[in-house]
Amino acid sequence: MAHKATRSSFGETIAKLAEKDSQIVVLDADLGKSTMTGEFAKKFPDRYFEFGIAEQNMIGTASGLALGGKTPFAASFACFLVGRYETIRMSVSYSIANVKLVGTHAGIGIGEDGYSQMGVEDIALLRSLPNFTILQPADDREAQAAVTWASIYKGPVYLRFTRQKVQDVHDDHYQFKFGKGDILKTASPAKESSKPRVAIFATGGVVYNSLKAAEDLEKEGILSTVVNIHTIKPLDEALVLELARTHKNIVTVEDHSIIGGLGSAVSETVAESGIPTKVLRLGVKEFGYSGSPEDLYENFGFSIPKLKQSILSFLK
Amino acid sequence: MKAAHAHNAFKLEDEEVKRLKEIAKELRVWIIRMLTEAGSGHPGGSLSAIDILTVLYFHTLRHHPNDPNWPVRDRFILSKGHGVPALYACLAKSGYFPMEDLLTLRKATSILQGHPVAQTVPGVEASTGSLGQGLSIAQGLALASKMDGTHYRVFSMIGDGETQEGQIWEAAMSAAKWQLENLIVFLDYNKGQIDGPVKEIMDLEPLASKWAAFNWDVQEIDGHDIKKILDAIERTRAIPGKPHMIIAHTIKGKGVSFMEGKIEWHGKTPTKEEAEIAIREIEGSAI
């Protein structure tokens, strides 16, 4: 089982794609060592633009490059990109520019650097822009597929990657299907009708733990389906509604604010459907802080035992 | 022989200046008409910009109005998006869309919104109107042009108030780093912004030396003198390896005496009666 940070998957994939696609360019704002664009920069120095610490200029210039026919990938920490939200709104979204924003260091999972470097509200902000597509892969294979998909698709895309290494949840045969929920585990058929069923929707760095928690719960009689949501926008609403109908209980898990991210997207979909469903949103509810990623995942409820505990008390 | 040739060249240039002046005059009238019809918008900064835009659209830019997406066209990015009536007037006069459409400005049924919107109006390259952003977009286009070896030129206009935005100075640094000699930027220095005189709100001076310090090629001209605008653009061709800043000293509301230099005409439109007076004055002015 590979154990790799999705930001590294991005760096390797973009360098590979650029060999065949000469329109790909990469932009950085003095964080190339962290966004893992070094390989690209070395191989394609004429297609690599270092802006220094000037994110809004980087984002605006990406727009111009896109309008000039290039496929720019502009990378920084997720929080610094959306810190220039209004530039994204006007110069990228409203200018319908084919820009790929690459936000690394997603969530509290970055650990020791603390809240100032954590992307916790990025999905919420970008989800409100009408023409933005938002992708958050769960592991190395999916990250490679998402970057490849984004390089071909014409339109603004936000790619969200982890700083920390994540465990594989897919094998070699995995096929990325844009816009479709990726079912990692299906609830065993109910032997007794009284057994509770829960559909768990997870995205990004917390998908592996969510899957493990669900597998453990199954042993304790909790029947669960686990869906990895790599495409947060547009959301696979059909799948959300189908599982709302068949499971009656939904849990969302994301290393992002519980406001405006996957939990909100799922809740909005379910609420408008009229299907009677209980929803529990697990996510970040307060400022992050410094600590090891493991300690923070424990404290913020994303460890396997904490996830199990939250789901169990939700189903009581 | 040589003298006669030079004489002819002068004569041709005089005729070109006269032709451009006549277009600018006509477009000033359209700006007044469209803003009066719309009942809202920005006359001051449209009238200060129109002479420069006229030179760009009717002399300098390589573009095909019947093929707005011609890949190697020269680009123009109006970073000071509120000056869009001047841009719309130039686009219509160039043939991107009918002149009558100008009178639909700011109506819900019109393609001509209150600020430029990309891919909705033929000839509008990017959405602007949130100040400070257009220069970075222009820079990206200039980079793409150089990468492709097409060397189309990218022109942009920023406002003086807009120059207070930090992003302008971020782009000032990077355009020099990448030696974008195909990027030519006009600063419409009309000395006024919504809350008052630029000098009082947040003084830009010393402005020319600021841009020079950022390693730009800098010129300072009278932004209403067609000949000087033509010369300034021509001169940029002789300076390699640097982006070009043309600080154009202009007058807000230029061409309408009761608007000239008056801050209140930044974002106020004339009444029907005031418009008539303004149009009579513009039409009666000497070329």
CB atoms within 10 A of CB B166: 11
- Report d(CA B198, CA B161) in Å as an integer: 6
- Report d(CA A312, CA A282) in Å as an integer: 13
- Report d(CA A118, CA A47) in Å as an integer: 28
CB atoms within 10 A of CB B204: 18
- Report d(CA B134, CA B128) in Å as an integer: 6
What angle, rounded to 10 degrees, do the helices at B43-55 and B226-236 form?
60
CATH number for the domain whose boundaries are A182-315: 3.40.50.920
Judge whether residue B205 has pLDDT over 60.
yes
- Residues of chain B positioned with their CB less than 8 A from the CB of A154: none
Return the closest-CA partner of residue B278 out of B21, B43, B23, B22.
B43
Measure B72 CA to nearest chain A CA, in Å.
9
- pLDDT tens figures, B53-67: 999 999 999 999 999
- The CATH number of residue B208's host domain is 3.40.50.970
When divided into structural domains, chain B yields a total of 1
The count of CB pairs under 8 A between chains A and B is 110
Task: Average the pLDDT over B105-118 and give the result.
Answer: 97
In whole numbers, what is the pLDDT of chain A averaged over residues? 96
Q: Does B136 touch chain A (CB under 8 A)?
A: yes
CB atoms within 10 A of CB B72: 11
- Report d(CA B172, CA B142) in Å as an integer: 13
- pLDDT tens figures, A242-254: 999 999 999 999 9
Which tokens sit at A37?
């664009």
The answer for B128, left when phi > 0, alpha when psi is -120 to 50, beta otherwise, is beta
Q: What is the distance, to the nearest Å, from the Cα of residue B30 to the centroid of all Cα atoms in its chain?
A: 16
Q: Does A62 touch chain B (CB under 8 A)?
A: yes
For β-strands B183-189 and A100-104, DSSP reports them as unpaired
- Report d(CA A87, CA A272) in Å as an integer: 32
- Report d(CA A91, CA A99) in Å as an integer: 10
User: pLDDT band for position B4 (50/70/90)?
Assistant: low
Q: Which residues in chain A come in under a pLDDT of 70?
A: 1, 190-193
CB atoms within 10 A of CB A64: 33
Architecture of domain A3-167: 3-Layer(aba) Sandwich (3.40)
Please give the helix or strand (H or E) that residue B53 lies within, else none. Answer: helix B43-55
Q: Nearest 5°: phi and psi at A81?
A: -65, -55
Interface test with B, best of A95, A96, A99, A129 (most B CBs within 10 A): A95
User: pLDDT band for position B151 (50/70/90)?
Assistant: confident
- pLDDT tens figures, A46-64: 999 999 999 999 999 999 9
pLDDT of residue B3: 57
Q: Which of A57, A70, A91 sits opposite B170 (nearest CB)?
A: A57
Active site residue A220: no
pLDDT of residue B2: 52
Let me know how long chain B is.
287
- Report d(CA B39, CA B34) in Å as an integer: 8
- pLDDT tens figures, B225-250: 999 999 999 999 999 999 999 999 99
Return the closest-CA partner of residue A196 out of A225, A161, A153.
A225
pLDDT of residue B81: 97
3-state secondary structure of B175: helix
What angle, rounded to 10 degrees, do the helices at A6-20 and A140-152 form?
40
Q: Cα Rg for chain A, rounded, in angstroms?
A: 19
For chain A, residues classed under CATH 3.40.50.920 are: 182-315
Residues paired with residue B249 on neighbouring β-strands, in sequence order: B189, B222
Give me the catalytic one of A19, A50, A55, A286.
A55
- Report d(CA B109, CA B70) in Å as an integer: 27
- pLDDT tens figures, A88-142: 999 999 999 999 999 999 999 999 999 999 999 999 999 999 999 999 999 999 9
Q: Does B133 touch chain A (CB under 8 A)?
A: yes
Q: Which of A54, A67, A89 sits opposite B137 (nearest CB)?
A: A67
Secondary structure letter of residue B99 according to DSSP: G
Write down the ipTM of this complex.
0.96
CA distances from B99 to B87, B205, B281 (A): 12, 39, 21
DSSP string for residues in chain A: --EEEHHHHHHHHHHHHHHH-TTEEEEESS-HHHHT-HHHHHH-GGGEEE--S-HHHHHHHHHHHHHTT-EEEEEEEHHHHHTTHHHIIIIIITTT---EEEEESBSGGG-TT-GGG-B-SHHHHHHTSTT-EEE--SSHHHHHHHHHHHHHS-S-EEEE--SSEEE----TT----TTS-EEEE-PPPPSSTTS-EEEEEEEGGGHHHHHHHHHHHHHTT-EEEEEE-SEEES--HHHHHHHHHHHSEEEEEEEEESSSSHHHHHHHHHHHHT---EEEEEEE-S---SS-HHHHHHHTT-SHHHHHHHHHHHH-
Sequence-separated (6 or more) residues with CB below 8 Å from residue A184: A169, A207, A211, A226, A227, A228
- Report d(CA B137, CA B147) in Å as an integer: 15
- pLDDT tens figures, B5-44: 666 777 788 999 999 999 999 999 999 999 999 999 999 9
Residues paired with residue B217 on neighbouring β-strands, in sequence order: B244
CB spacing of B136 vs A57 below 8 angstroms: yes
Amino acid at the residue A139: D
Domain coverage including residue B252: 2-284
- Residues of chain B positioned with their CB less than 8 A from the CB of A21: none
Amino acid at the residue A115: Y
Q: Which chain B residue's Cα is nearest to A46?
A: B147
pLDDT of residue B12: 80
Q: Which chain B residue's Cα is nearest to A53?
A: B170
Sequence-separated (6 or more) residues with CB below 8 Å from residue A218: A188, A224
Measure A159 CA to nearest chain B CA, in Å.
21
- Residues of chain A positioned with their CB less than 8 A from the CB of B119: 95-96
